[in-house]
A and B are shown apart, each in its own frame.
Chain A
Amino acid sequence: MANSYLVEPDVNFVRQLKTMGGETLKKCYQCATCSVVCPISPDERPFPRKEMIAAQWGLKDKLVGNMDVWLCHHCNDCSTYCPRGARPGDLLNAVRAYSIQEYAWPKWLARIVPDPRFWWLLLAIPMAIFVMILGPAGYLKIPAGEIEFAKFFPTLLIDLIFVPLATFWVPLVFGIGIYRFMTDLHKNAVAEGKAKRKDLNIPDFLKSLACALPAILAHSKFDECSSNKDRYISHLLVFFSFLGLFVVTNCFFVALYILQLPGPYSMGNPVKILANISAVALLVGVILMIYNRLQDKGDNIGKGSYFDWSLIILVLGLVVTGILSEVTRIAHAPILAYPIYFMHLVFVFCLFAYLPFSKLAHLVYRTLAMAYSRYSEREPCE
Chain B
Amino acid sequence: MTEEQRAEETKGSILVVGGGISGLTATLEAAEVGYEVFLVEKNPSLGGRVAQLKHYFPKLCPPTCGLEINFRRIKDNPGITFYTMAEVENITGSPGNYDVTIKVTPRYVNEKCTCCDDCAKACITKIPNEFNFDMSTTKGAYLPHEMAFPMRYVISPKIIGTEDANKCVEACKYGAVDLNMQPETITVKVGAIIWATGWKPYDASKIDNLGFEYPNVITNMMMERLAAPNGPTNGRIGRPSDNKDISSIAFVQCAGSRDENHLPYCSYICCMASLKQATYVREQFPDAKIYVFYIDVRAPGQRYEKFYKTIKEDENCFLIKGKVAEVQEDPSTRNITVVAENAVTGEKVQQTVDVAVLATGMVPNTADTKLPGGVKCDPDGFVISDLAAGGIFATGCAAKPLDVTSSNQHATGMALKAIQTLVKS
Residues of A within 8 A of B (CB): 1, 29-37, 42-46, 49-50, 81, 83-85
Contacts and interface: CB of A to CB of B under 8 A. Distances in A.
Given A36-B341, A37-B325, A83-B260, 5 more contacts: A29-B258, A32-B325, A32-B341, A81-B325, A83-B258
Nearest to B350: A43
Contact of B295 (A29, A34, A45, A46): A29
Given A1-B344, A43-B348, A36 B260 contact: no
A81 B344 contact: no
Nearest to A41: B348
Interface of B: 209, 254, 258-262, 295, 322-326, 339-348, 350
A30 B325 contact: no
Contacts of B343: 30-32, 49
B209 A37 contact: yes
Secondary structure call for the A interface:
loop
Q: Which of B258, B345, B348 has the most CB of A within 10 A?
A: B348
Q: Which of A37, A44, A83 has the most CB of B within 10 A?
A: A83
B326 A36 contact: yes
B326 A45 contact: no
Contacts of B254: 31, 83
A83 B263 CA distance: 9
Q: Which of B258, B326, B343 has the most CB of A within 10 A?
A: B343
A355 B223 CA distance: 59
A44 B325 contact: no
Contacts, number: 65
Contacts of B325: 32-37, 81
B341 A37 contact: no
Contact of B209 (A30, A44, A49, A81): A81
B341 A81 contact: no
Secondary structure call for the B interface:
loop
Q: Which of A32, A46, A84, A85 has the most CB of B within 10 A?
A: A32
Nearest to B296: A29
A214 to B, nearest CB: 26
Contacts of A30: 295, 343
Q: Which of B209, B324, B325, B339 has the most CB of A within 10 A?
A: B325
Nearest to B253: A31
Give 7 nearest A-B pairs by CB, closest first: A83-B259, A36-B325, A32-B341, A35-B341, A31-B323, A33-B325, A43-B348
Contact of A35 (B209, B258, B259, B348): B348
Nearest to A36: B325
A31 B345 CA distance: 13
Contacts of A44: 347-348
Contact of A36 (B258, B345, B348): B348
Contacts of A37: 209, 325-326
B346 A36 contact: no
A36 B324 contact: yes
A319 to B, nearest CB: 38
A42 B341 CA distance: 11
A273 to B, nearest CB: 46
Contacts of B258: 29, 31, 83
Contacts of B345: 1
A32 B340 contact: yes
Q: Which of A29, A33, A46, A50 has the most CB of B within 10 A?
A: A33
Contacts of B295: 29-31
A150 B162 CA distance: 92
Contacts of B324: 36
A189 to B, nearest CB: 14
25 contacts: A1-B345, A29-B258, A30-B295, A31-B323, A32-B325, A32-B341, A33-B323, A35-B325, A35-B341, A36-B322, A36-B323, A36-B324, A36-B325, A36-B326, A36-B340, A42-B348, A44-B347, A46-B346, A46-B348, A49-B343, A81-B261, A83-B254, A83-B261, A84-B260, A85-B260
Nearest to B326: A36
Nearest to B295: A31
A35 B323 CA distance: 10
A241 B321 CA distance: 46
Contacts of B341: 32, 35-36, 46, 49
B339 A36 contact: yes
Nearest to A50: B346
B394 to A, nearest CB: 26
Nearest to B343: A32
Contacts of A81: 209, 261, 325
A132 B346 CA distance: 57
A4 to B, nearest CB: 15
Contacts of A35: 325, 341, 348
B319 to A, nearest CB: 14
A35 B350 CA distance: 13
Contacts of A1: 344-345
Contact of B347 (A31, A43, A83, A85): A43
Contacts of A29: 258, 295
A1 B346 CA distance: 11
B1 to A, nearest CB: 54
A30 B321 CA distance: 9
Contacts of B347: 43-46
A32 B344 CA distance: 10
A1 to B, nearest CB: 7
B297 to A, nearest CB: 13
A32 B260 contact: no
Contacts of B323: 31-33, 36, 83
A117 B341 CA distance: 42
A35 B340 CA distance: 8
Contacts of B342: 32
Contact of A31 (B262, B322, B348): B322
A36 B210 CA distance: 12
Contacts of A46: 341, 346-348
B399 to A, nearest CB: 24
Contacts of A85: 260
A33 B256 CA distance: 12
Contacts of B261: 81, 83
Contacts of A84: 259-260
Contacts of A33: 323, 325
Contact of A32 (B209, B259, B262, B322): B322
A265 B155 CA distance: 88
